[in-house]
Amino acid sequence: MDSCVIPLRHGGLSLVQTTDFFYPLVEDPYMMGRIACANVLSDLYAMGVTECDNMLMLLSVSQSMPEEEREKITPLMIKGFRDAAEEGGTAVTGGQTVVNPWIIIGGVATVVCQPNEFILPDSAVVGDVLVLTKPLGTQVAVNAHQWLDNPERWNKIKMVVSREEVELGYQEAMFNMATLNRIAAGLMHTFNAHAATDITGFGILGHSQNLAKQQRNEVSFVIHNLPIIAKMAAISKASGRFGLLQGTSAETSGGLLICLPREQAARFCSEIKSSKYGEGHQAWIVGIVEKGNRTARIIDKPRVIEVLPRGATATLAPENSNASSEPSL
């Protein structure tokens, strides 16, 4: 599971806890702090938990960085992490800081829950619909942005994407990675979710397969639609890397993949986009739950839904793209 659930000795309560950390993947240290915190909290949100009682921060400062750089970058990373924790209704009360060759940031999230405050990810049934709450393509966007300064790599993709499109895709990926999955976690309860996971390092296919293995019923997941940040599918194809259309491209702080009753899925997608939750929340129907042997697969020719970055004009989307939250299955 995305978080451990440990029954406590008193009062029918459970301790729900998770930890995660990684290396920087964006240039802005403040945003890196926010992304790291969002990524840690996401494992709680994947269990339908919306509250966090406490966070610890894990921070490694690079000994190879000049002291002047360390003194500027480290406080910004810490501030980003703390600000995201505050947005999630919690606080950082401690942690551990070390010096080593690499910058690393992450943390621990802990909450004590009543049984009705979390949703075990094991109750998908035949006929459920799979919903995804963030577009795919973060790894592609981050790498493509780095390739702007690498002529050898840039030459492989410049025929399918402009520098402006890479910048817009990178900004969109950074914004999405820093967005908490807390709203989606709350709506899991409202719309009777049966199971969920968050999409991170193993890609949508890897995490779907892992979630399918946890199911009590004999079911399998079939993914028909892939919402992808605009132009990232073309970059993945042109570069010969990532496996984005195969579902194996790693994501960082990705969306929740949620098994919902068919009659609730469209309402979930509509509700999460409501202005009352602020900007930036999205959802797409991406697949179905069918009878099977607890596996997951992507169909041979999945429908790519090009998701326009904020600030992009409609000309960025190819004519056959579809940005609907409710694509047909």
The pLDDT value recorded for residue 279 is 82
On the question of pLDDT at 327 being above 50, the answer is no
Which pLDDT score, from 0 to 100, does residue 5 have?
A: 94
Q: How much of the chain, in percent, has pLDDT values that exceed 70?
A: 95
Q: What is the pLDDT of residues 257-273, one digit of tens each?
A: 999 999 999 999 999 99
pLDDT class of 316 with cuts at 50, 70, 90: low
pLDDT score of 319: 41
* Helices then strands, each counted (H, E), the chain: 9, 11
CA dist 248 and 98 (Å) reads 32
- pLDDT tens digit sequence for 172-199: 999 999 999 999 999 999 999 999 999 9
Q: What local confidence, expressed as pLDDT, does residue 326 receive?
A: 46
Please state, in angstroms and rounded to a whole number, the distance separating the CA atoms of residues 256 and 130.
10
Is 225 a residue whose pLDDT tops 50?
yes
Over the chain, what is the mean pLDDT? 94
User: What is the bridge-based pairing of β-strands 129-132 and 284-291?
Assistant: antiparallel
Measure the CA–CA gap between 71 and 75, rounded to whole angstroms: 7
Band (314; pLDDT cuts 50, 70, 90): low
Stretch 8-26: mean pLDDT, rounded?
Answer: 94
pLDDT at 118 over 70: yes
Q: Give which of 55, 206, 186, 211 is closest to 133, Cα–Cα.
A: 186
Burial 211-235 (b: 16+ CB within 10 A, else e): bbeebeeebbbbbbbbbbbbbbbbb
